[in-house]
Chain A
Amino acid sequence: MIAAIAFYVFAAILLVSAGMVVSARNPVHSVLFLILAFFNAAALFLMAGAEFLAMILVIVYVGAVAVLFLFVVMMLDINFAELRSRFQQFLPIGLAVGVVLLLELCLVLGGWSLAPNSAAMRTLPIAPDVQNTAQLGRVMYTDYILLFQAAGLVLLVAMIGAIVLTLRENRGASRRQSVARQVARNPGNTLEMVDVAIGAGVTMADIRRPLPEATALEHAGHGHDSHDDDHGHGHGGEH
């Protein structure tokens, strides 16, 4: 009784918030509704007795993916009026995707009703006294180890892709801290004590900290005007 009520409550909130993801006017609200939808999906997992999946859903999707999502969406500068005016244009594509997904779902469920025996094949028989964390581990690391490794490889490719896309060509343009060089630095190669005659002043061109080799070469190549007053501090940012 209570389980049934809880199921309908969670399912209803899930559906409503999924609808709000699409229809909310503000994209930040959309992401927040998406997070609410994740939570309710996790609750449904819990009710189905899959507590490991529920927690992983919250940790991975809510705790990490959605945070980055929110991060990006908050910083976007979107013209809502323009976006809404093109709603008509995108409607057919969205509808087509939805219809295809619906048909596929019907096909799977319909298949079960046509051939009732196939429904039993969708689950692996495992001893009922084993916790579902251990069950998942056994299935994933024994029967499906190759698929599991392949999935890992796909993720690795995606990660390398992301790094390649974000790595900029002009490395010298951003300030980098080399901790080793800072630690290795001593007063001997940055300081020089000079006796200055009163009223004479001093110009010491050679005691400035040398520029890092890479950036120095690059800047020479680009032919920027030289900064004679560039004492000491890290080079590159001012250009």
Chain B
Amino acid sequence: MDAFLNTSFGITILTFIEALAIIVPVLILMAYVTYAERKVLAAMQLRKGPNIVGPFGLFQPFADAIKMMFKETVVPSGANKVLFFLGPMLTFGLAVLAWAVIPVNDGWAIAKINVGVLYLFAISSLGVYGVIIAGWASNSKYAFLGALRSAAQMVSYEVSMGFVMVTVLLCVGSLNLNDVVLAQQHIWFCIPLFPMFVIFFISTLAETNRSPFDLPEGESEIVAGFFVEYSAMAFALFFLGEYTNMILMSAMTSILFLGGWLAPFGIEPFTWIPGPIWLILKIVLVLFFFLWTRATFPRYRYDQLMRLGWKVFLPLSLLWLVLTAGALMLFGWLPHAV
């Protein structure tokens, strides 16, 4: 068996299985995030939420999926056909692609590359292309406005997100995501770097176009923004992409700040539960905050969004970065470079 796994055919098969082992749980989680969102919103608004299809409405996501598949795909007559379909594919493809480097346990990642954090950052910054391309190719005013908003918004929040990541990396001394988690064995980064944790979480809301920063959709002003012309599976791909991105960002938050697969405090009763379960629990917790924010806050006005990104988060994260670097230098806590 080992001999077979070392041939190039064996490695291909193994990688394929590894990829399935991460994509399938992510997709299932994604389906149930849509369900959880409706249930949580319903609970917060004193409604019942989906409760007809299956026990407690648990089969609702599948009913939705089947409905989407059997709807008609409408292509606007003035649309650029190739780009019109490239947009949703790009959104969903990129959201899945990023999972290649997420470590679910010590050394359990498909690609153990030593620039993992940069890879995640690169992939998440590419997500904007799906939106821009879709908005432009639809040949519609509202879609185009949504695309422009999205481009400006995502570029603004990426900068402060980058600074937050650099702060974490200073404390870790490596760009490898596995090392990032192992560096939190004694204390999770969300405690010493708490302000950065808050900035990062809010930036992920903006990066995934979630409420209260869902201006690219803005259904009360620009109908549905960039996906106003999409129907059936093309629309579903945007939908899937958004939720997969949410899960990805939650995973990123868990790994950078909440100790990834590590059990809290590293003490007895917690360590009985295996690492991947802890990671999933943390992801679910962060996802709940996503939904909670959506139920609680009204949408930001566009200039307020820009002001928050450039005038509040950027100086704050830069300041905290300099402070962290200074403190590490002063007390000699700087991790040794590998």
Contact = CB atoms under 8 A, between A and B. Distances in A.
Main SS of chain A's interface residues?
A: helix
Contacts of A63: 121-122, 125-126, 128, 158
Contacts of B338: 131, 134
A64 B158 contact: yes
A62 B307 CA distance: 24
Contacts of B144: 74
Chain B CB count within 10 A is highest, among A56, A59, A64, for A59
B337 A134 contact: yes
Nearest to B86: A32
A133 B126 contact: no
A55 B115 CA distance: 8
Interface stretch (A65-73, A89-97, A98-106, A184-192): A65-73
A35 interface: yes
B155 A64 contact: yes
Chain A CB count within 10 A is highest, among B114, B147, B152, for B114
Interface string B97-127: 0000000000000000111001101100110
A120 B100 CA distance: 37
Contacts of B337: 134, 137
Contacts of B7: none
B40 interface: no
B151 A70 contact: yes
Contacts of A74: 132, 136, 144, 147-148
Interface string A127-149: 00001011001000000000000
A133 to B, nearest CB: 6
Interface residues of B, number: 30
Given A35-B129, A133-B175, A134-B338, A51 B121 contact: no
Contact of B303 (A28, A133, A134, A177): A177
Contacts of B115: 51-52, 55, 133
A68 B148 CA distance: 10
B151 A55 contact: no
A48 to B, nearest CB: 14
B122 A59 contact: yes
A58 B136 contact: no
A67 B151 contact: yes
Given A35-B129, A51-B114, A59-B125, A67 B119 contact: no
A28 B132 CA distance: 11
Chain B CB count within 10 A is highest, among A59, A63, A71, for A63
B118 A64 contact: no
Given A71-B152, A133-B175, A51 B113 contact: yes
Nearest to B144: A74
B155 A67 contact: yes
Contacts of B77: none
A133 B114 contact: yes
A70 B303 contact: no
A183 to B, nearest CB: 14
Contact of A56 (B83, B118, B128, B133): B118
B304 interface: yes
B118 A55 contact: yes
A213 to B, nearest CB: 22
B181 to A, nearest CB: 18
Contacts of B126: 58, 62-63
A68 B304 contact: no
Contacts of A62: 122, 125-126
B118 A52 contact: yes
Nearest to A53: B115
B148 A131 contact: no
B329 to A, nearest CB: 13
Nearest to A2: B8
A174 to B, nearest CB: 10
Interface of A: 28, 32, 35, 51-52, 55-56, 58-59, 62-64, 67-68, 70-71, 74-75, 131, 133-134, 137, 177
Identify the 4 closest CB pairs spanning chains A and B, nearest first: A63-B125, A55-B118, A58-B122, A59-B122
14 contacts: A32-B83, A32-B133, A51-B113, A52-B118, A55-B118, A55-B119, A58-B126, A59-B121, A63-B121, A67-B151, A68-B155, A70-B151, A131-B338, A133-B115
